[in-house]
Amino acid sequence: MPKGQSSIKHRVRAVILLVSIVVLLITATLFVAYEVISFRAQLVQNLSTLAAVIADNIAAPLAFNSEETAEEILSALKAEPDIVAASVFDREGNVFAKYPLQSQTHLLPAQLENAGLRFTADALVVFQPVIKEKKSIGTLYLRASLQGLYGRFWRYGAIGGAVLIGSLAVAFVLSTLLQKRISDPILALTSAAQKVSQAGDYSVRAPKLTEDELGTLTDAVNRMLAETQANQSRLAEQARLLNLTFDAILVRDAHNRITYWNRGAEELYGFTQEEALGKVSHELLRTEFPDSLEQIEEKLHRDNRWLGESVQTRKDGGKIHVASRWTLDRDAQGKQASTLEINTDITERKAFQAGLERLVAERTAKLQETVTELEAFSYSVSHDMRAPLRAMQGYAKALLKDYEDKLDSQAAHYLERISRASNRLDSLIQDVLAYSRVAKGEITLHPVDLERLIQDILPNHPEFQPPQACLLMEKPLHLVLGHEACLTQCVTNLLGNAVKFVPSGVVPQIRVRTELLDGRVRVWFEDNGIGIDTLHHDRIFEIFGQVHPEKKYGGTGIGLAIVRKAVQRMGGEVGVESEIGQGSRFWFILNEAKT
């Protein structure tokens, strides 16, 4: 900008010159005025003195009416070149003598005027009374030309002008030299600023030419440039890193128009930055949102963020699945300023997932088929197996009864053993069936009154009642949330164990009580049986986890497994506290049923 450059230079120079001119003019004017005033004062002084002296000298000739003497005295005025005319008036006001003799009449006053000095246009005149013996005998008139004054005035003016011109010339040269000290640093700053703004090159620094405020300003500008350069390189680094990511990163304004589009977005969608900027993102990408855009935007404005999966279309028409993360950026007023959107290509993952889901579905179907077959198999096996068992028992008993007198005691004993073995196999089958019913049957939870449930069980089980056993319920028993059939099975099995595993000759005593545990109920079944070694406490709940000899106490080894499975299905836990010879305290915990 040469115009700007010359402008600052010229302005600085003009300021300096203007100041010089004004100062010089004021100085010269004051000087000339002073000279004129002091010259005039001197002129007045001189003329007064001269007038007094001449008036004194001329008194005698005037008194004696000696015209010649008077003119002689007046002619002495030749020594005073300024005095251009003089005259003496007598008492009557007639001219008595004059100087010079051929004096032009226009230089002399037409008539006598009052005593005193006064300036006229081109002269200083004085009327001086001529005093003789304290009486005015006439008047002296002197006229001093102001030529000298004017001449001096013009001389001073010329000198002043010359000085002014000379000074201005010097000031011009000096200002040309001095303005560089001001304008050069500014011009340097300007040129640095131009380079930054035109080339965007923040590495430019302005040279520091002075140590004054401009130097400070240059330092400050350079510091700002350094900071901007650091920020810019940081930004550039961040932008470079943003471009490194595989994710598509875009920024949208409040109208969903794209304002930023990273390299990841270019690669993912195939649209270049130029093609994408300014476009409405979901129109460009033909986005299929999981919800309506209105719902998504509502959520975005509520939570400041939205996560979801969308289907989008690439430039080449290919559909891709993306995991989308939106973050709302608000301005100082809290309004939507822009939205940052990061999209990750999950097309492969989706395909893989779909494949997996298909595989899972296929396998589940196969598994279901197998389970169904197994169920049919176990159903059929258990029922078909029970029929021959019944036959074995039936025929054994029939033999015993019908051929009682033909069988010896050994044969009768063998038949008893056949009958007992088939009996046991039947119990096993029944328990296995019960276990599978509990394990896979449908479970619905309802409030169950354990007191009533136990009362209902008792009539079918004389072995739980006196005189065979003594069952004590510590009432009230709290209501539990359970499945009636499952609970019946559990309670029957636990009571069955309590009466089964007792030392011979001891009447089983069972105490049933409940304990509230913060919204849950623990149901205790405490017996006076043989107890269980703590070593076995985990094993007894497993299928066929029986720890006591079957021959001595009977049992299939499935009862507690059924209890555990049933309690688990009802959302509870089961456990035991017991030691050998100390009886057992079985418990299960279920949710409390609120009445």
Partner 1 sequence: MTTKRALLLVEDNEDDVFLMQRALQEAAVINPLLVLEDGQQALDYLGGAGKYCDRTEYPLPAVVFLDLKLPYKSGHDVLKWIRQQKEFDPLVVVVLTSSNEPYDLSKSYALGANSYLVKPPTPEQLLDLAKAFKWYWLEYNRFEEA
Cβ proximity to partner 1: between 402 and 533 the closer is: 402
Q: Find tokens 């090159």 and name the residue.
A: 201
Cβ proximity to partner 1: between 419 and 492 the closer is: 419
How far apart are alpha carbons 584 and 498 in whole angstroms?
8
Q: Find tokens 């409040």 and name the residue.
A: 254
Cβ proximity to partner 1: between 138 and 555 the closer is: 555
Closest approach of partner 1 to the CB of residue 300, in Å? 52
Closest approach of partner 1 to the CB of residue 443, in Å? 12
Binder among 437, 520, 536, 585 for partner 1 (CB under 8 A): 437
Binder among 31, 395, 524, 553 for partner 1 (CB under 8 A): 395
DSSP secondary structure letters along 410-438: HHHHHHHHHHHHHHHHHHHHHHHHHHHHH
Per residue in 99-108, is it b (16+ CB within 10 Å) or e — as a string? Answer: bbeebeeebb
How far apart are alpha carbons 424 and 546 in whole angstroms?
15
* Closest C-alpha to 225, from 242, 208, 243: 208
Beta carbons of 480 and 592 less than 8 angstroms apart: yes
Binder among 175, 339, 393, 497 for partner 1 (CB under 8 A): 393
Closest approach of partner 1 to the CB of residue 471, in Å? 24
Beta carbons of 472 and 509 less than 8 angstroms apart: yes
Beta carbons of 463 and 469 less than 8 angstroms apart: yes
Structure tokens at 298: 């509502």
Closest approach of partner 1 to the CB of residue 429, in Å? 9
Distances (CA, A) of 346 to 4, 355, 466: 59, 14, 71
How far apart are alpha carbons 324 and 344 in whole angstroms?
7
Residue 433 in the binding site for partner 1 (CB under 8 A): yes
Residues 468-487 that bind partner 1 (CB under 8 A): 485
* Closest C-alpha to 280, from 296, 297, 261, 256: 256
How big is the chain by its Cα radius of gyration, in Å? Answer: 68
Residue 389 in the binding site for partner 1 (CB under 8 A): yes
Stretch that binds partner 1, among 50-58, 219-227, 389-397, 517-525 (CB under 8 A): 389-397
Binder among 175, 183, 419, 528 for partner 1 (CB under 8 A): 419
Stretch that binds partner 1, among 149-157, 364-372, 378-386, 499-507 (CB under 8 A): 378-386
Residue 423 in the binding site for partner 1 (CB under 8 A): yes
Q: Find tokens 């920024």 and name the residue.
A: 251
Binder among 169, 356, 365, 398 for partner 1 (CB under 8 A): 398
Residues 525-564 that bind partner 1 (CB under 8 A): none
Binder among 111, 387, 406, 444 for partner 1 (CB under 8 A): 387
Closest approach of partner 1 to the CB of residue 589, in Å? 26
Residue 430 in the binding site for partner 1 (CB under 8 A): yes
Cβ proximity to partner 1: between 229 and 430 the closer is: 430
Cβ proximity to partner 1: between 379 and 403 the closer is: 379
Residue 218 in the binding site for partner 1 (CB under 8 A): no
- Residue 321, classified by CB atoms within 10 Å of its CB into exposed (0-12), middle (13-18) or buried (19+), is buried
Residue 462 in the binding site for partner 1 (CB under 8 A): no
Residue 180 in the binding site for partner 1 (CB under 8 A): no
Residue 446 in the binding site for partner 1 (CB under 8 A): no
Residue 394 in the binding site for partner 1 (CB under 8 A): yes
Cβ proximity to partner 1: between 304 and 378 the closer is: 378
Residue 154 in the binding site for partner 1 (CB under 8 A): no
DSSP secondary structure letters along 329-383: EE-TTS-EEEEEEEEEE-HHHHHHHHHHHHHHHHHHHHHHHHHHHHHHHHHHHHH
Structure tokens at 313: 């279309």
Cβ proximity to partner 1: between 241 and 376 the closer is: 376
Query: Which H/E stretch holds residue 146?
Result: none
Residue 390 in the binding site for partner 1 (CB under 8 A): yes
Helix axes 2-63, 147-199, angle to 10 degrees: 170
Residue 78 in the binding site for partner 1 (CB under 8 A): no
Closest approach of partner 1 to the CB of residue 464, in Å? 19
Closest approach of partner 1 to the CB of residue 417, in Å? 15
Residue 56 in the binding site for partner 1 (CB under 8 A): no
Residues in contact with partner 1 by CB under 8 A are 379, 383, 386-391, 393-395, 397-398, 419, 423, 426, 430, 433, 437, 441, 485
